[in-house]
Structure 1
Amino acid sequence: MHMRAVAARQGSRWIAEGWTLFQQCPGTWILLGLIDLLVTAVLYELPYASDLTAVFTVLWTGGMICAADHCRTTGSVRLADVLRGIRTSFQPLFAAAVFALLIAIVCDLTGDRASSALRLLAFGGASNTSSVLALIAGVLYSTAALLGTMALWLAPALIVLNGATPADALRASFAATWRNGAASLVYGLIVSGLMLACVLTLGVALLVVAPLIYLSTYAASLDMFPRER
């Protein structure tokens, strides 16, 4: 895989290109976004299964990338395209999903410890030991969340579109996000703004924002890892 550096302004262009794909079949993309949200909500509510949302997200991302590629080529998209993408690349996607599960578990364990210790600090019931634990847990949580996000962002796309192995996809995604830090930051800020819009609309905007994130990730992958013709 050949990785290229891009300008910071590309972060906004990925959103624009994702939006162009969304407009080709808005009804179907909204339906796929609804399926994504429903499955995620069910997994999150099941006892001891909330971390499985990380596994589902990686698999679903691979399927949505396949559907986005089909939409870009043919102008149409179906649920079958998503399922085909998952089925065709299931083994490498699942391996990447296991990595995502491990990151989620680390974040859960360290996040709970950090928040508990910080509450003690806030109410004056903490000792020096609690302060140290809060600091260590906070550092571990932040490190795992950041590194995990960088490694997982483009990995499903690289697996589906470029035939990369899970290890190569995770490494390449991390390297591309690091090398194109300015563009990734611009993209992340825009996505954060879109998520704020979802909060302000009581979650209704997620029906559009959720598929748009997958579609813009597809655009980012093609931009940073152009496929050979």
Structure 2
Amino acid sequence: MSFKQLLYILLFFFTVSAKGSFILIPMDETTQQNHLKAYGITYWALDKQYKISWLLNYRGGSFLLPDAQEIRKECQIRGVSFEVLSDGESNSILDEISSPSQNMEAVVLERTPKIAVYTPKGKQPWDDAVTLVLTYAEIPFTPVYDEEVLSDGLLLYDWLHLHHEDFTGQYGKFFGAYKNAPWYIEQKKNAEALAAKLGYGKVSESKLA
């Protein structure tokens, strides 16, 4: 056997061994270096039509994805820890999860949910913890507010987050401390203008609608 033939054989076996069948995105505290970005990777992969298994109670609720070069690359770009598994390794994990003695379950995820966040127009992501997290994780969402709610716009979404809103129409929990602050006066003005636009004389009436 020539040196060239031997080199081809070695390259072949190296290529085969380097390619796994699955990618595990661990979610335990000791292994995953960026948990929020890991959720974003999962959403991104689902949006690209990859079928994903959510391994509930296995290493912090890890995700099992098919091995693909673009997934590996995206994990590296976003700083998300991942492990490449063979068929045997992934089957062993799934067997462990399916055991009656374990409080675990593998849930298949097949599509991305449409996410809406109830928040006034013009608010920055850091004004609400959920919008801050979703923005950092790179999970897309749509801000919705009273106009969308009253026009049945929520029917377009699968998941809605309500931030810590004061639905009495008293302009929120900061009224006592910040009622004279310019930004709060502007917020109050905008709330009253929106209520009037929707046909209500008071903000509290629009919230009760």
TMscore range, shorter length? under 0.3
The structure where helix makes up a greater share of residues is: 1
TM-score, length-scaled by structure 1: 0.22
Whose radius of gyration is greater, 1 or 2? 2
Flag the structure with more relative contact order, 1 or 2, with Cα contacts below 8 A and sequence separation at least 6: 1
The structure where strand makes up a greater share of residues is: 2
